[in-house]
A and B are shown apart, each in its own frame.
Chain A
Amino acid sequence: MDIIQILQYSFIQKAFIAGSFVAITCSSLGLFLVLRKMSLIGDGLSHVSFGAIALGLFFGVYPMYVAVPVVVLASILILKISEKARVYGDAAIGIVSAVGIAGGVILASLSKGFNVDLFSYLFGNILAISMSEVVLSIILSAVVLLVISFFYWDLFSATFDEEYAKTTGIKTNFINTLLTALTAITVVLSVKVVGIMLVSALLILPAVSALQISKKFKTALLLGGVFSLVSVISGIIISFVLDLPPGATIVMLNAIFFALVFTYKKLHKR
């Protein structure tokens, strides 16, 4: 089967479109998260999305419609817990993500009927993405990317030196809230692509690969996007041809990119 034939399948076309948008959104946001040492917030919020999806299935509502607001609220809760309760950020992530998982498990146990649906979200399947999910991915990705572009210099300054950013009038608390809320939206979008278990890889790996070899922030942003896009597109094709799970294939390709750029950097230094 050649590439032209593969591209003629409508489910592949949908996977390409949604995957491309999610890939670029994840890599752009991931760069700020990695540099702010907030990488694991993606992991924590993906666990919350497990509970939120279970909530949607429990009440018979389309899970993504429930997951977006619930995960956004959870992201704000993480910030508030670390600010108000004098708890470190990683501990706050741990608290909220554990509650998310526990809530999901309890709802799954109570319903006794949607376990198969719920567990399909754990590893995702971009090849089974619906048209409404493609539209949702495009809209939400566009929102996230537009917000990043409007707040580019605020994010840049607050990420480089938060204390100095405050002295230039940048509302760093607002920027932190904005960043976590955007991460929440992106995590929900990525669940269909790579699944709850692997979402954080899509946020972290392209960014850390790009940072290995970039001499400028904008280059890192661009390279991260390229790594992410190439791994999602080739991951979809490889998983279809070799009958592999697409989410895991995409993550493994991202990991291969990281290994390659890391090796290149080491050899180049010598």
Chain B
Amino acid sequence: MSSIVEIKNLSVSYGATCALEKISCQIEKGDFVGLVGPNGGGKTTLAKTILGLIPSHSGNILLFGENLKGFTDYSKIGYLPQKHTGINPLFPATVAEVVILGLLSAKKWPKKINQNDWYNVDGLCESLGIVNLKNKLIFELSGGQQQKVMLARALASEPELLILDEPSTALDPASREVFFTRLKELNSQKQTTIILITHDTGYIGQYANKLLYIDRKMVFFGKITDFCPSGEMESCFEKSDQHIIWHQHK
């Protein structure tokens, strides 16, 4: 198996505050990793450091076997951020235009969008049930609809690694099921590696094959089958959460 993400002794600080300390793990092709931990535990920081958005203090990250600093093949990565606070609310961008931004990583300068790209965006929107929204302005949509658009954007370049930061918070239960089924399909059929940050332990137990628990330091990393409800884990998970993960996975 080839490593998609390899993290060695990674530490990240915000000024004098240590956000992550000596994290090491290896994520293989086809892994579906549930990244969990308490609020402020460093989950989003870890995701953003993998993406190169936050500089590391020490340690090393290899993406597809290449050092993060020299990594250029961004089309291999799809990212769905936690909150869409970065979106410019006055920007008159349509859904189709937002989705097409996910294709830019696969384009060489000067980046040109052709008819085939728009056709592919149509297909992607169709598969996620948002084709009827493609000409609407992004800021006219509900939070759940925006979330689907952002997932389409993350999937546009057909990435080999998907990093999803609390993707289901704005979705209704029916949309959540469709969303996770789609993720599972990508994972099992296309061997897409998925790193999913969520507080929803039920979905982790149901879909992930590995668990990474961080609370600034790494608490647990391994196969979900190796994770058993135990007294030792009670400092990390409530008893009920442990059982949900364990039973859902079984």
**A36 closest partner in B (C-beta):** B88
B101 touching A216, Cβ below 8 Å? no
In the assembled complex, the Cα of A157 lies from the Cα of B91 at a distance in Å of 11
- Binary flags per residue of A133-162, CB closer than 8 Å to B gives 1, else 0: 000000000000000011111101101111
A157-B101, A161-B86 are contacts. A219–B74 as well, Cβ < 8 Å? no
| Interchain nearest-CB distance for B230 vs A (Å) | 37
Q: At the interface with chain B, which of A61-69, A167-175, A231-239? A: A167-175
- Pick the residue among B51, B92, B107, B111 that contacts A219 (CB under 8 A): B92
Instruction: Assess A163 versus B81: contact at CB under 8 Å? Given A35-B88, A153-B113, A220-B92.
Output: yes
Complex formed: what's the CA distance from A92 to B247 in Å? 57
Nearest-Cβ distance from residue B11 to partner chain A, whole angstroms: 22
Number of chain A interface residues as a range: 20 to 34
Given contacts A163-B81, A211-B92, A215-B92, contact A169 B74 (CB under 8 A): yes
Q: Which of A156, A159, A214 has the most CB of B within 10 A?
A: A156
A264 at the interface (CB under 8 A from B): no
- A216 x B92 contact (CB < 8 A): yes
Q: Are A215 and B91 in contact (CB under 8 A)?
A: no
Quick check: A153 and B104 within 8 Å, CB to CB?
A: yes
Answer yes or no: A119 CB below 8 A from chain B CBs.
no
A43 to B153, CA, bound (A): 36
Question: Which of the residues B92, B97, B98, B105 comes within 8 Å of A168, measured between beta carbons?
Answer: B105
A215 near B137 with CB under 8 A, answer yes
List of A residues within 8 angstroms of B107 by Cβ: 153
Partner of B91 from the list A151, A160, A168, A170 (CB cut-off 8 Å) is A160
A217 x B86 contact (CB < 8 A): no
Q: What is the CA–CA distance of A164 and B157 in the complex, to the nearest angstrom?
A: 14
Question: Is A167 in contact with B92, judged by CB distance below 8 angstroms?
Answer: no
Q: Is B93 an interface residue (CB 8 A)?
A: yes
Residue on A nearest B137 in the bound complex, by CB: A215
Compute how far the CA of A69 lies from the CA of B207 in the bound complex, rounded to whole angstroms. Answer: 58
- Taking a contact as CB atoms closer than 8 A, the residue among A149, A157, A216, A217 that contacts B104 in the complex is A157
Given the contacts A150-B109, A216-B92, A164 and B86 also touching, CB distance less than 8 Å: yes
* Interface SS of A by simple majority: helix
**B16 within 8 Å of A by Cβ?**
no
A166 within 8 A of B: yes
**A153 in contact with B111 given A166-B52, A167-B74, A170-B104 (CB within 8 Å):** yes
Inter-chain contacts of B91 with A (CB < 8 A): 35, 159-160, 217
Interface string of B109-149 (1 = CB under 8 A from A): 11111000000000000000000000001000000000000
Contact check, A214 vs B74: say whether CB atoms are below 8 A apart: no
The answer to whether A168 and B53 have CB atoms under 8 Å apart is: no
B residues in contact (CB < 8 Å) with A? 51-53, 72, 74, 77, 79, 81, 84, 86-88, 90-94, 97-98, 101-102, 104-105, 107, 109-113, 137, 153, 157
Knowing that A35-B91, A169-B72 touch, tell me 17 more A-B residue pairs with CB under 8 angstroms. A35-B88, A153-B104, A153-B107, A154-B109, A157-B104, A160-B87, A161-B84, A163-B53, A165-B104, A166-B52, A167-B52, A168-B101, A168-B102, A214-B92, A216-B94, A217-B92, A217-B97
Q: Could you list 24 examples of A-B contacts with CB < 8 Å?
A: A35-B90, A153-B101, A153-B113, A156-B93, A159-B88, A159-B91, A160-B88, A161-B88, A161-B101, A164-B79, A164-B81, A164-B86, A164-B153, A165-B104, A167-B52, A168-B101, A168-B102, A168-B104, A168-B157, A169-B74, A211-B90, A215-B92, A215-B137, A219-B92
